[in-house]
Structure formats: structure tokens, C-alpha cells
Amino acid sequence: MAELAEAGLPLRRARLRLSTLFWRRPWLKALALLALPLAGFVIVYVGALVALFVSAFWQINDFTAKVEHVWTLDNFSTLIHDSVYRRIALRTIGLGAAVTLTDALLAFPLAYFMARLAGGKTRAFLFVLVLMPLWSSYLVRIYAWRTILAHDGALNWSLNKIGLPDIGLLYTNWGMWIVFSYVWLPFMILPVYAALERIPDNYLEASADLGGRGWRTLRSVILPLALPGLVAGSIFTFSLTLGDFITPLLVGGSSSSFIGNVVEEQVGQPNVPFAAAFATVPVVVMGFYLLIARRLGAFEAL
């Protein structure tokens, strides 16, 4: 018995040394746990992105259309000097901002009702209503809006019935704005709901005690506390709109090209280096946006 205990001693000593090491240096424990998923993340995700963005500095051979590994800034110089790419980028960013503002305005009342005013059953029912469209395919929702906004669609039919003339919303940027706002709305409602739900009731009572009426409380107490939720939701709506190309293709008109559309056309041509160069624009924009969002406290809840 003693011999067996003796035989197991080296292993026990090693295990003890290891566990002491981890106890003394907790960051080592974290690293050991995260090493594998982090490696997967870096190699697969980040590595693929890096490979793409490195190719932005290359060019394609005009004749064979194969990528030549010649370092050049030509792609970026075309982007800066050709006004059409600036126009497309501004259109994409502008519509992203418009969609974000619209969704913030639409989501806030609903999220406030769900978080603070609705009873248990009503809240659950509203959750289902908000989340159910996400169960259907993204394309299905776009096609649904196409049938509504079309020239002979449901919207014009209803307007004609009450005597109003047709509105041509399909194949316009207005139509795209409506579709985007609808499709990304659940992504704005949920973070705002989470932020509003966390506001303690006694804050509102305290505000009332100090003489604040409805609007004052809203402005000075609720909105600042809900801001992180709004910013978190805006990250979703803004970045998803920046990267989209399907809605402009299906719902857009003759002046509706997005950054994603140009990237898709260039990849098919196949001018991957130029597509990669143009794709850096949304990355840079989102980078700045995330920095501002961090300043505004969107990540404090984490």
C-alpha cells in the first residue's frame, strides 16, 4: 500500500505544482482556457480578414485577371480620386445613419412599454411579436415589402381605395430606408429593452420627489440610462446596413448602389484587390463608430 502511494507521488506532486501555478497567476488559467477558441478565432476569422485586406494592396493582371502580388496603392488612389465611390460610400453611410435614427425612434416607445408598463403576459406576447419575423428568412421579408410597395401593390391599392393617388416607393431609396428600418428593428428593440429594464424604480420616484415631471424625468433620468442600450442597438443597425447589398439589389432603383454592391461586382469581375480596398471603408467607419460608442458607455454593461 505504501509502495503504491509512493508510486503515485510524482504525479500528485506535478498536479499540485500545476494547480499552485494557476492559483498564483490567474491570468495563466484564463489563457489556458481561452487558448484553443482564441486560436480558432485568430487563425480562421482574423486571418481570413487579414488575407483579404492585404490583397487590397495588390492588383490583378488585366489580361489573365489573376491576382498579382505587386504592392501598390493604386486601388486606394482610385477610391479617393473617383467621385463615384465617394458618392456610393456617402449614400451607404447616410442611409445607415437614417435607418439607425428611425429605428431608435421606433424602438424606444415599444421597448419602454415592454420594460416598464406591460404586465407579464403582455410582455411575453410582445416579445413573440418582435422576435417572430426573425424566424422567417431575410429574403422573405424583403419580398414581402416588395409586394407591399410595388406599383400595383398593397399600399397603393389601399391608398386608391380611400381616394389618394399612387406613391412610387419601390425601386427608390425611400423604399430601401423603409425596408431596412423594418428588418433591423428587432435588433434595436432588444438592447433598449435590456437597458430600460435595469433602471431601478426608486430612481423615478426620486426624480418625482425632486420635482421632475414626466418629460424632465425622461430627459434627465431615463434617456441617459437607456443610452448604452440605444448605442448598442445602433451598432447593429448601422453595421448591418453598411454591409448590405441584397436590399439595394432587390428594392433599390437606378441610383441605389451600396458599397456591398460594388464589392460584389468587383469580386465577380474578378477584381478582388479593388473589392478588398473598397471593403476597408465600412471597416474604418465602424472602427470610429465603435470608439465613439465606447466613449458613450455602450460597453459598460459588459
Partner 1 sequence: MSKARTRVLGWGALALLVGALAIVAAGCGGSSKKSSGSEGSGSGLPTSIGKGEGALNLIEWPGYAQASWRKPFEQQTGCKIHLKDAGSSNQMVALMRTGGGGGGGQYDMVSASGDATLRLIYGGDVRPVNVNLIPGWKDFIQELKSPAHNTVKGVHYGVSLQWGPNTLLYNTQKVKPAPTSWASLYDPANKGKITVPGNPIQIADAALFLSKERPNLGIKDPYELTKQQFDAVVALLKEQKPLVKTYWGFASDEITAFKNGDVTMGAAWPYQTLTLQADKVPVKEIIPKEGATGWADTWMIAKKAKHPNCAYLWMKWVSTPKVQAQQALGFGETPANTKACPFMDKIQAGSCAKYHANAPEAYFKSIKFWKTPVADCGNGKKDCIDYGQWQSAWTQITG
The residues that touch partner 1, with contacts defined as CB under 8 A, are 27, 42-43, 46-47, 50-51, 54-55, 60, 62-69, 82, 84-85, 87-88, 146-147, 150-153, 168, 170-171, 249-250, 252-255, 257, 262, 264-271
| Shortest separation between residue 32's beta carbon and partner 1, angstroms | 14
Instruction: Write the DSSP string, 217-248.
Output: HIIIIIHHHHHHHHHHHHHHHHHHHHH--HHH
Cell matching residue 197: 429594464
| Shortest separation between residue 140's beta carbon and partner 1, angstroms | 14
Residue that is written with C-alpha cell 474578378 in the block: 270
Burial, 228: exposed, middle or buried (Cβ in 10 Å; 0-12, 13-18, 19+)? buried
Residue 257 phi, psi dihedral angles, 5° rounding? -65, 135
Taking the C-alpha atoms of residue 198 and residue 2, their distance in angstroms, rounded to an integer, is 60
Taking the C-alpha atoms of residue 129 and residue 236, their distance in angstroms, rounded to an integer, is 20
| Shortest separation between residue 277's beta carbon and partner 1, angstroms | 13
Bridge partners, residue 154, by sequence: none
| Shortest separation between residue 44's beta carbon and partner 1, angstroms | 11
Q: Which is nearer to partner 1, 270 or 297 (CB)?
A: 270
Q: Which is nearer to partner 1, 122 or 255 (CB)?
A: 255
Q: Which is nearer to partner 1, 227 or 250 (CB)?
A: 250
Angle subtended at Cα 195 by Cα 194 and Cα 196, rounded to the nearest 5 degrees: 95
Q: Would you tell me how many other CB atoms lie within 10 Å of the CB of residue 179? A: 26
| Shortest separation between residue 171's beta carbon and partner 1, angstroms | 4
| Shortest separation between residue 154's beta carbon and partner 1, angstroms | 11
| Shortest separation between residue 59's beta carbon and partner 1, angstroms | 10
User: Do 74 and 59 form a contact (C-beta atoms < 8 A)?
Assistant: yes
User: Do 184 and 176 form a contact (C-beta atoms < 8 A)?
Assistant: no
Q: Which residues contact 260 (CB under 8 A, 6 or more apart)?
A: 92, 243, 244, 245, 248
Q: Which is nearer to partner 1, 175 or 191 (CB)?
A: 175
Q: Which is nearer to partner 1, 150 or 286 (CB)?
A: 150
Cell matching residue 213: 415631471
